[in-house]
Amino acid sequence: MNYQVTIGLEMHCELKSNSKVFSKSRNTFSGTPNDNVTPPDMAFPGTLPMVNHKCVRDAIKMALVLNCDIPAFMSFDRKNYYYPDLPKGYQITQFYNPVGTNGNIDILVDDKVVNIKIHDIHLEEDAASLDHYVDTSVIDYNRAGVPLLELVTEPCIHSSADAVAFLEHMRSTYKYCDVSEGDTKKGEIRCDVNVSLSKDDTLGTKVEIKNVNSFGAVRDVIEYEIKRQSALLDAGRENEIEQETRRWDEETKKTIRMRSKADAIDYKYFPDPNIPPYVITEEEINDIKKTIPILPIARKKIYEEKYGLSSYDAKVIIKEKSVSDFFEECLKLDIPAKLASNWLTTTILGKINELDIPLEEFYLKPEYLKQIIEASTSGVISSKQAKEIFNKAVEEKKEPKTYLKENRQISDENELHNLIKTILDNNRDQVKAYKNGKTNLFDYFVGQVMKETKGKANPNLTKEILTKLLKEI
Amino acid sequence: MSYMDKSLTEIHEALFSKKVTSKELIKESLEKAHELESSCNAFVSILDNASEKEVTDDLLSGIPYGIKDNYATKDILTTASSNTLNNYIPFYNATAINNLNKHNVVGIAKTAMDEFGMGGVGITPHTGIVKNPWDLTRTPGGSSCGSAASVAAGVYPYALGSDTGDSIRKPAAYCGIVGYKPTYGMISRFGLFPFASSLDHCGVLTRNVYDAGIVVNAMKGQDVNDMTSWDSSNIDLVKDIDSDIKGKKVCYIKEICDVSNYPHASSELKEHLANFNKTLDILKNLGVQVDEVSVDRELLDKIASVYVVISCAEATSNMSNLTGISFGPRSTEKKDVFKMMKEHRTKGFSPLIKRRFVIGSYVLQKENQERYFRNAARVRRLIVEAWKDLFKTYDAVILPVGSGPAPLIKDCVDHVSNDENTILEEHLQVGNFGGFPSITIPNGFINNLPVGVNLTSNIYNDIVLLNIAKRLEDAMPYQNQIAKGGLK
């Protein structure tokens, strides 16, 4: 039987910042354990939190993007529990007055607009990371105090595809807003997934799956839970679906029970007395609004309506901000939109995929692409040559124009005329045969011209002159 | 000739005129510290390697002082008198210490305290019970017990204290000295081991009001490391300390001060309240308008429980970092990290603290939080508003400290008291609820034991508070008195 699936997501995303959210330690990825640590990160006695203003502003920015209600003031609360990766014995988070509540955002799922409701978004700190060995465990405090933005959706998502689309959309939006790198490989995004099944519109029993660390795993978790819970419901064993917390086991591709609701931890949330409430003024909100760029869905609409791109191409371009920015840079350089789009969506994305680098690190900037495109459209080079120059420029990291001279197409009518005349003079037998009806020899003559010019002769012009000269003979 | 029993001004004059050197002062102070340690048990560490500092025209330069052991001192053992930190050596200074160091001060000792500031009678330090130098069978009060005892005995002219409920101002009274905590946030709490962050204040114990102003002038200042600190650079606490106080208005609360509130009053309490009235007369003679006011008795009766709920709740969270994992003595348990934390805490904390943690956890629990913690926060606000109402008319509220002189150590038990004297014992906590500047000065003797009176003003009104306290002190004969029982 098919059941109504309802999914809620909690998405934790590390923010970009120079320093950590409550201390002066650097917030950079470091391969050396315990490299980015100051006394507050390890909760040495007497140390106090200092709220990072930049992180607060980024949190407000995202609350605005998510169309949240922004409170007149926000505050920070302590979530109390003991765990070896939690130095203070509490996490500073926002429970009572988060930066944004009651929001919503449109996302695209297969060209269909889906509105996702946001329960709240709040700023908090990450815990340290633990590594376990055979008989010992070690703590790396580099991650302790790294700023995290957690957004919590309402239970309003009904398929794994929508869930993953939402997460992809949010990751892209974070990157568009320049608040996060959004790199799941570095663990910068982590999710908790709630799944419930029901026979009707009432919500079924909620099962929470914690610490799902990739979007693929989110999809797998949801599909697995739908299967698991459906089987129980089909068998009339709905009482075995408990309100519980489970975890995803990547090896077995199964969710495993951690604890039931009855054993849930009481986090004893209360306001952190060391951090005065943060007043959010109208002025600050307006200030932050100015820093929000045009977001993907709006860009897609512009690309389609103003620049005539196909919905598919527009979607490919907006998926990553770097790609979209590259495209817009091309437009600024007066590269025709469709040409820019074609080059970008096929050749360039293919190339960076092949090189396995982000677009930001790609050598061929829009201004260089322009050199190739201009040479190609004006007929100076063939489209085949354009590809060759592109590859060479990327490989040797040299401006395309350095290759244009040696690859210049012969489009001079006189020059070609003389050249073709000579070739025909040297192939009298073939010309005679052609005249006697062996018309497929035309391609032979073209081939001879290309051979003579090492392929640089403008093919259209060559055919034109050949036809004319052969007629005259 | 001894100097450590003199005022800062006198010591400074002797230093500046080269009658004595910083080195000689250190020697005198260290000798007295060792002597007091054997009689009163006042210290966690005596810093025998203390070195002299250059004497400048700064009143504090070259002069020894004591530091309560909950101020982080770089490279110096700092335990908060707890076994959970009995080997802990910070690698940073509290901001207040850094600020003082700019004045060429000389730290002589880390003073014993009730464990993490929790406790009011000096019986919980891991180094043992601290005794009152006026009478070794009595408590010096707590939690700044070691600081109060050593200043009273004349080991040095001042010692740092901290005050969450009355931890500076009550021991000051029991030891016949001055205890001052300025407005919340005037001194950074960075590096002060927390008890209850919204109530914790840094402050000082001295033998006269002027010295208290001098020391806090040096400790204070906005600190990027403490978001609750504020800029007081325009405030000089001693500049106008001798101004005329004629026309100032001070009030006392009938429900606290009137002897008729205490049908079972001991002779000591009666004497204490009578003595308080004499102090009011002195104020009146100085031209101060002294009025009796009323505060809702029901509100006053809630002070103690509000304090217990809020302070225990914050404490249980604040001290969750004490797991013995990255600092403090490691548990012998090796296999299970949760057992390791549990063993560290079970062995490290005294029963009194554990009881407070249980209370703190209980009032924060989801099902209890509204009824206890949230309500306590609301009543706290009502109490603060009642005091702020008084400050609309009055420059300060004046009240007796405690219900008499220091109790006998053998009678000291930590309990949530509920007898008719409770309000007398607990009203100083209002100063912490509101972050009000508050100062205790000695105002007499009962059975040869000192008693004190407290003045509390509105936030940011420290200058006026010290001014009134100084003029009142000048009109009484208890300035710079020394307890003779601790040293030979």
Instruction: Please report the DSSP string for A110-162 in residue order.
Output: TTEEEEEEEEEEEEEEPPPEEEE-SS-EEEEGGGTT-EEEEEEE-S-B-SHHH
| Residues 272-331, chain B, touching A (beta carbon < 8 A) | 313-314, 316-317, 319-323, 325-327
User: C-alpha angle A394/A397/A401, rounded to 5°?
Assistant: 85
Element at A417 (helix H, strand E): helix A413-426
The residue from B22, B29, B81, B143 that is catalytic is: B143
Neighbours of A234 (CB within 10 A): 11
Q: Is residue B417 over pLDDT 60?
A: no
Q: Is residue B302 annotated as a catalytic residue, yes or no?
A: no
Find the domain containing A325 and state its range: 293-404
Same domain, A346 and A258: no
pLDDT digits (tens, 9 = 90+) for A322-349: 999 999 999 999 999 999 999 999 899 9
Fold of B1-488: Amidase signature (AS) enzymes (3.90.1300)
Euclidean distance between CA atoms B67 and B158, whole angstroms: 9
Contacts of A233 (CB under 8 A, 6+ apart): A1, A3, A197, A199, A241
**Which burial class, exposed, middle or buried, applies to B332 when counting CB atoms under 10 A from its CB (0-12, 13-18, 19+)?**
exposed
Taking the mean position of all CA atoms in its chain, how far away is CA A28?
Answer: 20
pLDDT digits (tens, 9 = 90+) for A200-211: 888 889 999 998
pLDDT, chain A, mean: 91
pLDDT, chain B, mean: 96
pLDDT digits (tens, 9 = 90+) for B136-185: 999 999 899 999 999 999 999 999 999 999 999 999 999 999 999 999 99
Contacts of A306 (CB under 8 A, 6+ apart): none
Same domain, A233 and A282: yes
**Strand duo B249-253 + A254-260: pairing:** unpaired
Percent of chain B at pLDDT exceeding 70: 99
Same domain, A121 and A212: yes
pLDDT at position A2, please? 85
The confidence band for A406, taking pLDDT boundaries of 50, 70 and 90, is low
Of B94, B117, B110, residue with least CA distance to B188: B94
Q: Is A28 helix (H, G, I), strand (E, B) or coil?
A: coil
Helices A321-332 & A366-377, crossing angle to 10 degrees? Answer: 50
Same domain, A174 and A119: yes
Give the mutation candidate from B321, B340, B373 for the A interface (greatest A CB count, under 10 A).
B321
pLDDT digits (tens, 9 = 90+) for B356-386: 999 999 999 999 999 999 999 999 999 999 9
Of A273, A111, A275, A261, residue with least CA distance to A194: A261
Of B450, B452, B38, B436, residue with least CA distance to B199: B436
Q: Is residue A412 over pLDDT 80?
A: no
pLDDT at position A260, please? 84
Residue B307: C-alpha distances to residues A57, A185, B379 (Å): 36, 48, 10
pLDDT at position B418, please? 57
The confidence band for B415, taking pLDDT boundaries of 50, 70 and 90, is low
Euclidean distance between CA atoms A322 and B66, whole angstroms: 60
Dig out the tokens for A115 from the structure: 């509105």
Dig out the tokens for A335 from the structure: 């590269």
Same domain, A29 and A102: yes
pLDDT digits (tens, 9 = 90+) for A247-274: 999 899 999 998 887 778 899 999 999 9
The single-letter code of the amino acid at B460 is: Y
- Tell whether the torsion through CA atoms of B373, B375, B380 and B381 is positive or negative: positive
Bridge partners (DSSP) listed for residue A19: A26
| Residues 342-371, chain B, touching A (beta carbon < 8 A) | 361, 364-366, 369
Q: Is residue A449 over pLDDT 80?
A: yes
Same domain, A441 and A334: no
Domain final residue pick, A234, A263, A287: A287
**Which burial class, exposed, middle or buried, applies to A378 when counting CB atoms under 10 A from its CB (0-12, 13-18, 19+)?**
exposed
Interchain contact A84–B (C-beta under 8 A): yes
pLDDT at position B331, please? 86
pLDDT at position A376, please? 85
Rg (CA), chain B: 21
CB pairs under 8 A between A and B: 100
The partner residue sitting opposite A82, judged by closest CB among B225, B228, B341, is: B341
Given an 8 Å threshold on Cβ–Cβ distance, is B317 in contact with A87? no
| Residues 58-87, chain B, touching A (beta carbon < 8 A) | 70-72, 78, 80, 85
pLDDT at position A8, please? 97
Mean pLDDT calculated for residue range A54-76: 97
Bridge partners (DSSP) listed for residue A92: A78
Same domain, A263 and A324: no
Which chain B residues are within 8 Å of A84, Cβ to Cβ? Answer: 323, 325, 337, 341
pLDDT digits (tens, 9 = 90+) for B265-275: 999 999 999 99
Q: Is residue B7 annotated as a catalytic residue, yes or no?
A: no
User: C-alpha angle A350/A356/A362, rounded to 5°?
Assistant: 75
Residue B440 C-alpha, separation from nearest chain A C-alpha, in angstroms: 26
Same domain, A8 and A155: yes
Same domain, A162 and A195: yes
Dig out the tokens for A40 from the structure: 């507050």
The residue from B6, B68, B110, B181 that is catalytic is: B68
Residue B321: C-alpha distances to residues A20, B326, B372 (Å): 19, 9, 24
Contact B457, B235 (CB under 8 A): no
The single-letter code of the amino acid at A109 is: V
Give the mutation candidate from B323, B340, B368, B432 for the A interface (greatest A CB count, under 10 A).
B323
Mean pLDDT calculated for residue range A112-116: 93
pLDDT at position B258, please? 96
Neighbours of B468 (CB within 10 A): 25
Mean pLDDT calculated for residue range B79-83: 97
**For chain A, what is the largest distance between any 2 Cα atoms, rounded to a whole number of angstroms?**
103
pLDDT at position B420, please? 86
Q: Is residue B143 annotated as a catalytic residue, yes or no?
A: yes
Rg (CA), chain A: 31
Query: How much helix, strand and coil, in percent to the nearest 5, is found in chain A?
Result: 45, 20, 35
Given an 8 Å threshold on Cβ–Cβ distance, is B189 in contact with A46? yes
pLDDT digits (tens, 9 = 90+) for B274-331: 999 999 999 999 999 999 999 999 999 999 999 999 999 999 999 999 999 989 998 8
Given an 8 Å threshold on Cβ–Cβ distance, is A43 in contact with B337? no
Domain count for chain A, please give it: 3
Given an 8 Å threshold on Cβ–Cβ distance, is B85 in contact with A268? no
pLDDT at position A407, please? 64
Check whether the bond before B51 is cis (ω within 30° of 0): no
Q: Is residue A191 over pLDDT 80?
A: yes
The confidence band for B414, taking pLDDT boundaries of 50, 70 and 90, is low
Which chain B residues are within 8 Å of A264, Cβ to Cβ? Answer: none
Of A150, A39, A32, A27, residue with least CA distance to B321: A39
Same domain, A67 and A215: yes
Element at A394 (helix H, strand E): helix A383-396
Mean pLDDT calculated for residue range B238-242: 97
Given an 8 Å threshold on Cβ–Cβ distance, is B325 in contact with A139? yes
Q: Is B178 helix (H, G, I), strand (E, B) or coil?
A: strand
Q: Is residue B416 over pLDDT 70?
A: no
pLDDT at position A448, please? 87
Contacts of A47 (CB under 8 A, 6+ apart): A23, A39, A40, B92, B190, B191, B225
Mean pLDDT calculated for residue range A269-296: 96
Interchain contact A87–B (C-beta under 8 A): yes
The residue from B22, B144, B167, B350 that is catalytic is: B167
Q: Is B298 helix (H, G, I), strand (E, B) or coil?
A: helix
pLDDT at position B49, please? 96
Which conformational region is residue B74 in: left (phi greater than 0), alpha (psi within -120 to 50 degrees), or beta?
beta
**Which burial class, exposed, middle or buried, applies to B191 when counting CB atoms under 10 A from its CB (0-12, 13-18, 19+)?**
buried
Element at A103 (helix H, strand E): strand A100-109
Of B417, B419, B396, residue with least CA distance to B180: B396
Q: Is residue A411 over pLDDT 80?
A: no
Q: Is residue B238 over pLDDT 90?
A: yes
Q: Is residue A450 over pLDDT 90?
A: no
Q: Is residue A223 over pLDDT 80?
A: yes
Give the mutation candidate from B311, B326, B341 for the A interface (greatest A CB count, under 10 A).
B326
User: C-alpha angle B310/B316/B322, rounded to 5°?
Assistant: 150
User: At residue B119, what are phi and psi to the nearest 5 degrees?
Assistant: 130, 150
pLDDT at position A460, please? 84
Q: Is residue A126 over pLDDT 70?
A: yes
| Site of tokens 């315990």 | A34
pLDDT digits (tens, 9 = 90+) for A346-388: 899 999 999 999 898 899 999 999 999 988 888 778 788 888 8
Neighbours of B420 (CB within 10 A): 14
Given an 8 Å threshold on Cβ–Cβ distance, is A270 in contact with B192? no
Which chain A residues are within 8 Å of B224, Cβ to Cβ? Answer: 50
